[in-house]
Structure 1
Amino acid sequence: MGKGRKVKKKNQSWLLKLNAWLHLWPSIVSGIIVVFVCLTGTIIVYSDEIVDAMAGDAKYVQPQDQKLDLETLLEIQKKEIPGILPSYVLYYKEPGRAVVINGFDPKNIRLSMIYMDPYTGKIIKYDKTIHFFFLMAHMHAHMMLKTTGGWIVIIATIVFVLSTLTGIVLWWPKRWTKTTRKASFTIKWKARFKRLNYDLHNVLGFYSMLICFILGMTGLIIFFQPLMKMTMNSFGATTEDWHKSLPKVKESGQFIDAFPLMDKLFQEIPHKKVIKYWVYDYAKSGVFAFHIADRAGLKSDENRDVRYFDKYTGKPYVINIQQDKHNKVENWVWQLQMGQWLGQVGKFSTFIAGLISTSLPITGFLIWYGRRKRQK
């Protein structure tokens, strides 16, 4: 019995040493990349709100009796601002809101938001604020180094996820006493820098652990298709790229206007506020795919539902349950990644967690450097 206890204790000590090694050295090696990825990701969190605020009064128009049709607005945009390809259109329930076109400049690789009066066709504002967040998003995803940068970021993300798991083991007190509870859950703000830095790493790391883990895992799911397919399968969603099977345009016939269909959809689902319609394949697809949501975002939409309509008849085009689940799961993953999972509460929580995760490699390095210096 005594020998058994000694072996068990020795094994446990070996596992703890391995856990400490996995928490320290991979994090030291990838620390700068993790800081960069976390910082750029944190900047993106409030991108939708900032872009919306920068639009100012351009968001609003004077309602009139009749709106122009979508095709006319797209033609006006093409003529007034040549070279800009429309990616998606935002159409709001409120009659006094401008129609917003998200434009892409393929020549200079730039994004912009074009605010148009749907009643007169006037371009109210050509705003390029969103391009800054477009750059941040690409830096966050692959550091503007395409495939090579993507793999560097994803390896750093794996290390980050590993650090959250090994960190909780290191944080866990050996004994739960009044003293250890206080040390584990509170920061001693008046302590010397060394102790304060330790608390900022240890305590803040614990409080942000769950959100940091979710952010890391959703990033991995988005990057790795096998992991995305596994996620889809677990929710009973199709893993096929079924959008390619949607009806294409006919040789003859004219599209009906999308706006009356959107207005009708708002009547059916009155609590929704905006519809996002991706128009990059407007001339190729035979169906309208309307993303009706509480709020439209750069990468995901809050509480989104997707409805399809035949472009020639306006009749609903019904997709099967597995395809519908695919849409929902994909949006859930992106909502978790962008902090849209619980409105502004989710955004704020994600923003704070992003700041903390940006600081953790720095405070962790200072702890390691201080101990190393003391040992010498």
Structure 2
Amino acid sequence: MTAKGTILWLHRWLGLLSGLVVLILSITGCLYAFVDEITPLIYRQRQRVVPGSHAMVPLDRLRETAEKAIGHPANQVFIPNRPDAAVRFIAYRFDADAWHYGAQYPYYYTCYIDPYTAGVMYMENTKYEFFNLVFHLHFDLLLAGAGRWIVGWSTVVFAVLLATGLVLWWPHKRSALRQRIRFVWTDRTRWKRKNYDLHNILGFYTLVPALVLALTGLVWAFPQVDHTVQRLLDGGERPSGTVTVTDNRLPGPEGPLERIVRDLWADMPGARYYLLNLPDAGTGAPVTGLAYPYGRQRYQYTLNTYEATDGRKLSGHRYIDKSPGAKYRAMNYDIHIGNIFGLPGKILAFGISLICASLPVTGAVIWWQGRKKKRTRAS
């Protein structure tokens, strides 16, 4: 067998082994690409409120209302920075030892609260919300740790397929290049040829961006990859970028959550939204507060920690203070979904994912036709 024949054999069987997973990851990637644009439209009734003529109810009182409605303590608070938006309290329990999604989250709810009346607008069973299921299907195939392992190694195989595909695509003669980069179809072109061209030509044009999607995905699949990339960018060191602060403000009449949000607002008044990660009661762990800017600068978020009991600021972590490795890590999600280039980048990522979804299908058809051809010759 020649070297190219060996590469073809490897390309074929690796494609067949990983094809279904690549198809699922690509389709779910397409579906999730515009989640930030779609959900405000389809969930408008639960996310929007009529601004009241009086001040908003303090966040700590909203928390009491939400936790009473949910029946469980809140883990997160999502606060859009606009006067006509509901505040969301998210409560879930995560079982790290579970082997599938259903057992991984015994409960997962989002309570939408009107910040002017403290009324419950909607109780969402987030465990079965469509885009949340799409996300977890993309992340781990709804199979928890085993699924994450399958996704990770299938992504590695996909990167190998891109490399071997380029070798197989490369023309022997320059005169054959035209057929490798253009669809030269006529009315007499057979569908087998069209299928081959769709696999070959689209695969070539999407090679580089598809490789970017694959490599950025590996950061979540394998913690070792994440740590290695950050260490390389940081020159072997891991500076924290965290600034410890001394908060000398005396506790005011407001509760700790209200105090935390006011501090986040002071750090980034033009944020798109604020997110609070609340610790379990009695653990002594701090509250993590994040302020996310608008648009493609989402990765330039501010992260602070606060004392859970009184809202005192413990540390600040701004984007500009991060190390090169930490800056890249913050950007990784936006690179993966194309948001780093705004809406055009998301559209590009959607198109690339759609083509990636077609590659296992067109490749399987090529393999099947090859098998039929061999059987015909044998008979």
Q: TM-score, normalised by structure 1?
A: 0.79
Does residue 264 of structure 2 align to residue 262 of structure 1? Answer: yes
Contact 1:28 1:361 in 2 (8 A): yes
Q: Which moved more, 1:350-359 or 1:303-312?
A: 303-312
Contact 2:92 2:108 in 1 (8 A): yes
Q: Which moved more, 1:358-367 or 1:287-296?
A: 287-296
SS of residue paired to 2:174: coil
Tell me which amino acid in the other structure corresponds to 2:201.
V
CA–CA distance in structure 1, aligned partners of residues 7 and 26 of structure 2: 23
Over the aligned positions, Cα root-mean-square deviation in angstroms equals 3.5
Contact 2:289 2:304 in 1 (8 A): yes
The equivalent position to 2:77 in structure 1, one of 74, 89, 95, is 89
2:361 corresponds to:
362
The alpha-carbon deviation at position 105 of structure 1 amounts to 5.9
Contact 2:279 2:287 in 1 (8 A): no
In the alignment of these two chains, the number of paired residues is 351
CA–CA distance in structure 1, aligned partners of residues 79 and 186 of structure 2: 49
CA–CA distance in structure 1, aligned partners of residues 208 and 190 of structure 2: 28
Contact 1:70 1:257 in 2 (8 A): no
**Following superposition of structure 1 onto structure 2, how do residues 267-278 of structure 1 map, counting pairs within 5 Å?**
267=269, 270=270, 272-278=271-277
Q: Could you list the runs of 5+ residues in structure 2 that have no partner in the other structure? A: 95-102, 246-250
Q: Which moved more, 1:351-360 or 1:60-69?
A: 60-69
The equivalent position to 2:34 in structure 1, one of 42, 46, 50, is 46
Structure 2 CA distance for partners of 1:163 and 1:212, relative to 1, 3 Å: same
1:21 corresponds to:
9
**Following superposition of structure 1 onto structure 2, how do residues 82-161 of structure 1 map, counting pairs within 5 Å?**
82-83=71-72, 85-104=73-92, 109-128=106-125, 131-161=129-159
1:209 corresponds to:
207
The alpha-carbon deviation at position 77 of structure 1 amounts to 0.2
SS of residue paired to 2:74: strand
Q: Could you list the runs of 5+ residues in structure 1 that have no partner in the other structure? A: 1-12, 248-252
Deviations 1:10-51 (A, max 9, x none): xxx944333322221211222223223332333322333333
Q: Would you identify which runs of 4 or more consecutive aligned residues in structure 1 move more than 6 Å?
A: 237-247
Q: Which moved more, 1:235-244 or 1:54-63?
A: 235-244
SS of residue paired to 1:101: strand
CA–CA distance in structure 1, aligned partners of residues 121 and 328 of structure 2: 36
**Following superposition of structure 1 onto structure 2, how do residues 63-78 of structure 1 map, counting pairs within 5 Å?**
63-78=52-67
Q: Which moved more, 1:48-57 or 1:105-114?
A: 105-114
Tell me which amino acid in the other structure corresponds to 1:122.
G
Deviations 1:261-283 (A, max 9, x none): 2332343xx3x322222235587
Q: TM-score, normalised by structure 2?
A: 0.78
CA–CA distance in structure 1, aligned partners of residues 354 and 63 of structure 2: 40
Deviations 1:255-300 (A, max 9, x none): 3622322332343xx3x3222222355874445422322169xxxx
Tell me which amino acid in the other structure corresponds to 1:180.
L
The equivalent position to 1:188 in structure 2, one of 182, 185, 189, is 185
CA–CA distance in structure 2, aligned partners of residues 101 and 17 of structure 1: 57
